[in-house]
Amino acid sequence: MALIRHRALQHDEWQPEAQAAGGDLRVPLARWREEREALLRRPGRLGLVLDSREDLATPPHQLAEELAADLPRLALIELRFAAFNDGRPFSQARVLRERFGFRGELRASGELLADQLRELERCGFDAIDYASADDARQALVMAGDVDVALQPAGDDTELVFRRRRRAPLSLVR
Amino acid sequence: MYPYDDTDRQLLRQRVAQFRGQLERYQGGALSDDQFRQLRLRNGLYLERQAHMLRVAIPYGLLSSAQLHKLAYVARAYDRGYGHFTTRQNIQYNWPELDDVPDLLADLAEVDMHAIQTSGNVVRNVTADHLAGVAADEVADPRPYCEILRQWSTLHPEFNWLPRKFKIAVTGAAHDRAAIRLHDIGLQVVRDETGETGFRVFVGGGQGRTPVIGKVVREFLPEPHLLSYVEAILRVYNLLGRRDNIHKARIKILVNSLGIERFGELVEAEWQANLARGALELTRDDLERMRAYFAPPPYAAQAALDTSFATERARNPMFARWVERNTAAHKVPGYRVVYVPLKAPGVAPGDATAEQMDRVAALAARYSFERVRTTHDQNLLLSDVAQGDLCALWRALEAAHLATPNLGTLNDMICCPGLEFCTLANASSLKIAAAVNERFDDLDYLYDLGPLQLKISGCMNACGHHHVGHIGILGVEKGGAEWYQVTLGGDATEHAALGERLGPALPQDKVADAIGAILDSYVAERQPGERFLDTYRRIGIQPFREQVYGADPTPRAAARRVAA
């Protein structure tokens, strides 16, 4: 696994569920639902792993509402792509960030394309965990290839036609 | 017309470079076939039966003369000298070499054109009424909204991996020429009782193997909320649309399974929850600036005073016939809308040669303010021609075989590329089109039949819109042979209806005969002033069925009957 934060490869301090002894622990949604109170009582940081195919096929607000009260206590929410073309995490990320104000780490993992780095970032992901170091390096190489954005998403880009009328043409990006 | 600026051009340059890189990675083995397929599709590139096919976007069907000249250039330089205009107002090229595609895209970028989001599971080219801005019956020009939607949806990071493709159409008139009820989202510009502008929003329409007529999800959406509401629809769809079965992944399936009320509630909740942030709210200023790009051209105040038009019309019956058939009323006195049908006998519907494209582009520069439009029934049109120029324009179009006076007749058909070009097709729709053209070549007979829409699809994916043809033909494969199902009574307008099946499928050589029998039936049954569709609605399908199949509707009897 190769983790990108802030456009750089970084050490991942989160261990897989089975290897997390006393410290930080991330658990799948099913375990969270069963052991929520016990998990919240443990020392160390807590993360939640949601699978795009199993967990995200819900109305936009439903899952986030279930988690809403506990969001401040979750240090990490990891949205795992079952397939690179399963677009559900993009929408779920925006719901968690924008509508429910989740401030912890929002991580993408699973099957991801190097080409997807920027669209993940723009939907609110601040950590992207590629399956291989090659993919992560490729993603970083290509990250600036298309840097024009025409619309707001999970970032603070303005609608392009509104931005245009304020800036001299040559400065508009 | 919306003029590209530095931002738009930079985006195109970057996108071309990005695609070049993706192609290199694929050819170097860094991308798998499936990964590259998904990426190339987002750039309009298909791998078809014999070669690659590239679909180029023509946003809401509007082209400048310079752009059409460039499309002609591309047809010559990268294709076999022609292009195919599609039912979604785009153009596709059937023969580009894979290695050439980045250069082709770079050439298109020179005239602010591209292939972004013309395929793949993304928001596709937004289409519009082809009479936008010139129709007397519209509430407002739909194109500013189309352009706002285009800019908002271009490379949208959240909606680049939808469950399935997503098509939006906008009309500004109550009479629907854009088939908005057959789109994933259809928008009709309306005014409420206080005079406020907004949209009637349809959702979940579509054709394909499960044809569905769109349902109203909101009777009145105030104009400023266009983008926020469309975003809410797409978000609900992106999360809840099925991804386990490609044939059940369109939004129409989701809307039908939830029910329109429940679907509408989910959209409303998502929309309301995000409204306060206001990032997508359109201001009066946003809208006025966008509308200014689509302001009317400088019409000549004296155009209606021209007398040569009336003189020529009286003197030259061929010209008069063309005016009657291939031109339409314009909201400005002294101007007409001129259709340029791409339906000449012997030509695949929608095909145009590079020479024809150059010719039309030049004629538009001379007679129609350098603008050309594509229509969803695969024709071109010049939207603003002064009546005094019509005769000269007609002569020039005649010389280029672009004045066949068959607009709106049986021969002005919609037809998909079919077996010869498409990997999905299982029948040769083009052969049927040719057979119909050959058999029904008497213009007076066609005129007598009145407005008639024949729509032909080579497979159940319905690219030829057969479900909504007054007469629809669907190619199917049975036992290794091509068969054709006939439907009657389809309609893509505000009276949208799906065609009803006439009877068992027919072999290829019997289709034209069956159409002949259907038309005989119509001529025998019609009352004065009744169009085909009116007669069909009044008498139902049975008289047509009996005319084609007799009392015994088995395939064998049908074949015998039409052969007799």
CB B383 within 8 A of CB B373: yes
Q: Closest-CA residue in chain A for B20?
A: A145
Q: Which residues of B touch A81 (CB under 8 A)?
A: none
| Residue B217: per-residue pLDDT | 98
Say yes or no: B155 contacts chain A, CB-CB below 8 A. Answer: yes
Q: Are strands B481-488 and A127-130 parallel, antiparallel or unpaired?
A: unpaired
Q: Degrees (nearest 5) of the Cα angle B238, B243, B245?
A: 145
Two structure tokens written together for B260: 């329109």
Q: Closest-CA residue in chain A for B3?
A: A161
B516 has a pLDDT exceeding 80: yes
Contact A160/B7, CB-based, under 8 Å? yes
Q: How far apart are CA B486 and CA B514, in angstroms?
A: 9
What letter does residue B416 receive in the DSSP assignment? Answer: -
For chain B, what percent of residues have pLDDT higher than 90?
A: 90
Two structure tokens written together for B374: 């594509």
B251 has a pLDDT exceeding 80: yes
| Residue B427: per-residue pLDDT | 86
Contact A146/B15, CB-based, under 8 Å? yes
Q: How far apart are CA A83 and CA A131, in angstroms?
A: 12
Say yes or no: B290 contacts chain A, CB-CB below 8 A. Answer: yes
Q: Helix or strand or coil: residue B454? A: strand
For chain B, what percent of residues have pLDDT higher than 70?
A: 97
* Mean pLDDT for the stretch of residues B78-96: 94
* Mean pLDDT for the stretch of residues B504-531: 96
Say yes or no: B32 contacts chain A, CB-CB below 8 A. Answer: no
Q: Are strands A127-130 and A105-110 parallel, antiparallel or unpaired?
A: parallel
B71 has a pLDDT exceeding 80: yes
Q: How many CB pairs under 8 A join A and B?
A: 138
Contact B38/A160, CB-based, under 8 Å? no
The helix or strand, by DSSP H or E, that contains position A33, with its residue range, turns out to be: helix A29-41
For chain A, what percent of residues have pLDDT higher than 70?
A: 94
A107–chain B nearest CA distance, Å: 15
pLDDT in tens, A78-135: 999 999 999 999 999 999 999 999 999 999 999 999 999 999 999 999 999 999 999 9
* Mean pLDDT for the stretch of residues B321-335: 97
Q: How far apart are CA B66 and CA B64, in angstroms?
A: 5
Nearest partner of B522 among B503, B537, B538, B535, judged by Cα: B535
pLDDT in tens, B351-399: 999 999 999 999 999 999 999 999 999 999 999 999 999 999 999 999 9
In the block, which residue shows the tokens 């949604």?
A: A29
Tell me the residue type at B329: A
* Mean pLDDT for the stretch of residues A61-68: 92
Two structure tokens written together for B479: 């036992």
Q: Are strands A46-51 and A25-28 parallel, antiparallel or unpaired?
A: parallel
In chain B, residues 501-560 whose CB comes closer than 8 Å to chain A: none
Calculate the alpha carbon distances from B369 to B131, B293, B364 in Å: 15, 14, 6
The helix or strand, by DSSP H or E, that contains position B71, with its residue range, turns out to be: helix B65-78
B560 has a pLDDT exceeding 90: no
B423 has a pLDDT exceeding 90: no
**Which residue of A57, A119, A165 is in closest CB contact with B157?**
A119
* Mean pLDDT for the stretch of residues B212-227: 98
A170 has a pLDDT exceeding 70: no
Q: Which ipTM score applies to this complex?
A: 0.95
Calculate the alpha carbon distances from B109 to A171, B4, B56, B160 in Å: 21, 10, 11, 21
Two structure tokens written together for B8: 């738009």
Nearest partner of B105 among B47, B18, B7, B1, judged by Cα: B18
Q: Helix or strand or coil: residue B420? A: coil
In chain B, residues 409-428 whose CB comes closer than 8 Å to chain A: none
Maximum CA pair distance of chain B? 70
pLDDT in tens, B439-489: 999 999 999 999 999 999 999 999 999 999 999 999 999 888 999 999 999
User: pLDDT band at A172, cuts 50/70/90?
Assistant: very low
Say yes or no: B278 contacts chain A, CB-CB below 8 A. Answer: no
Contact B239/A57, CB-based, under 8 Å? yes
User: pLDDT band at B557, cuts 50/70/90?
Assistant: low
| Residue A173: per-residue pLDDT | 40
φ, ψ at B209 (rounded to 5°): -80, -15
User: pLDDT band at B558, cuts 50/70/90?
Assistant: low
B263 has a pLDDT exceeding 50: yes
Note the helical H segments in B216-330: 226-240, 251-258, 260-275, 284-292, 308-315, 317-326
Q: How far apart are CA B354 and CA B349, in angstroms?
A: 15
Nearest partner of B416 among B92, B150, B14, B66, judged by Cα: B92
A143 has a pLDDT exceeding 70: yes
**Which residue of A99, A123, A150 is in closest CB contact with B158?**
A123
A14–chain B nearest CA distance, Å: 27
B230 has a pLDDT exceeding 60: yes
CB A95 within 8 A of CB A64: yes
Question: Taking the CB of residue B133, how many other CB atoms lie within 10 A of it?
Answer: 23
CB B249 within 8 A of CB B226: no
| Residue B397: per-residue pLDDT | 97
A68–chain B nearest CA distance, Å: 14
Say yes or no: B157 contacts chain A, CB-CB below 8 A. Answer: yes
Q: How far apart are CA B308 and CA A117, in angstroms?
A: 63
Contact A60/B236, CB-based, under 8 Å? yes
In the block, which residue shows the tokens 């030829």?
A: B464
**Which residue of A59, A120, A150 is in closest CB contact with B266?**
A59
B48 has a pLDDT exceeding 80: no
Nearest partner of B269 among B261, B259, B257, B279, judged by Cα: B261
Q: Closest-CA residue in chain B for A112?
A: B35
What letter does residue A23 receive in the DSSP assignment? Answer: S
Q: For chain A, what is the radius of gyration of the CA atoms?
A: 17
Q: How far apart are CA B339 and CA B85, in angstroms?
A: 14
Exposed, middle or buried by CB within 10 Å (0-12, 13-18, 19+), for B361?
A: buried
* Mean pLDDT for the stretch of residues B255-265: 98
B277 has a pLDDT exceeding 50: yes
